[in-house]
Amino acid sequence: MNTSNLKIWVEAARPKTLAAAFVPVLIGATIAYQDELINWMATTVALLCAFLIQIGTNFANDYFDFVKGADTDERIGFERATAKGLISPKTMLNATIICMALAFIFGLYLVWIGGTVVLIIGLFSLLFGVLYTGGPFPLGYNGLGDLFVFIFFGIVAVMTTYYVNALAWSMDTFWASLAVGALCTNILVVNNLRDVEQDKIAGKKTLGVLFGETMLKVEYTFMLILAFAIPAHFYFQLDYEVWIFFPFLILPVALLHTKTIWTETEKRNLNQQLEKTAKFMTIFGLLFSIGIIL
């Protein structure tokens, strides 16, 4: 594979979205570490599977959005490799299958540790990763994308990471997962706010198309409020130390992001906001993890 080919594949994997795979595993493993139940091998495999599922989902989106005609020359988002003719649809579909198959194979180690429940969760994660834009009722085309992201990249990912470490469920991870799910959802919200006009034309019924742009701006704001409410809940209800408020160090950044979402009129500029939202999630996750450990 030559360098330009590699660059195309790296961009198609959309590395800027990988915070959505990294942060849930980080938080789940951190709580396991705090409970002195960390299993480093299980955490490493969980992280690898999360990255593979995220990349596989990105490849699937690239393929199915092209096939369904959602990616056109009017697209203002990041370039899609299939739509641009850089990767053939068949090759992109094969790449999707390979990523999901590898996630399944590596995930068998977690099934060996955690049993049938991990197998069921893993299979659903793989299935919905494809059904997000594929199949007869694609979630992302029918207003269910946000809910899917919140549940699978938030609640399921954080709680299952803890489970494969501790072999038990934890209410602390449930509460933590709400913050993770909220910040993950906001990456999608920016994406949908940017693409609302193109999505209307393509018949893609995102929440922005169904309920208008104001709905997306309210959703973004609410998700940030939810994320910042969780450290407070950890302090007042779960008896964590004051260090749990570390994420509040970036509250001014959250306010700036909210202002941008409400006031930015040039949709193309939201590409930058999407990157910033993903970076914000990573920093929030790191600060929250440090707070949990301390």
Q: Which phi and psi (to 5°) does residue 207 adopt?
A: -60, -35
- At position 93, the amino acid (one-letter code) is L
- pLDDT tens over the chain, length 294 residues: 456 788 889 888 888 889 889 999 999 999 999 999 999 999 999 999 999 999 999 998 888 888 877 666 566 666 778 888 888 999 999 999 999 999 999 999 999 999 999 999 999 988 888 888 777 778 888 888 899 999 999 999 999 999 999 999 999 999 999 999 999 999 999 999 998 988 888 888 899 999 999 999 999 999 999 999 999 999 999 999 999 999 999 999 999 999 999 999 888 899 899 999 999 999 999 999 999 998
**Which residues face 205 on adjacent strands?**
142
φ/ψ (deg, to 5) at 162: -60, -45
Burial (CB < 10 A; 0-12, 13-18, 19+), residue 171, is exposed
State the residue range of the domain holding 192: 3-293
21's tokens? 């795979």
CA–CA distance, 200 with 209 (Å, rounded to integer): 6
For the chain, percent helix, then strand, then coil, each to nearest 5? 80, 0, 20
CATH code assigned at 222: 1.10.600
In eight-state DSSP terms, residue 142 is: B
pTM, entire model: 0.91
> Could you give the number of structural domains in the chain?
1
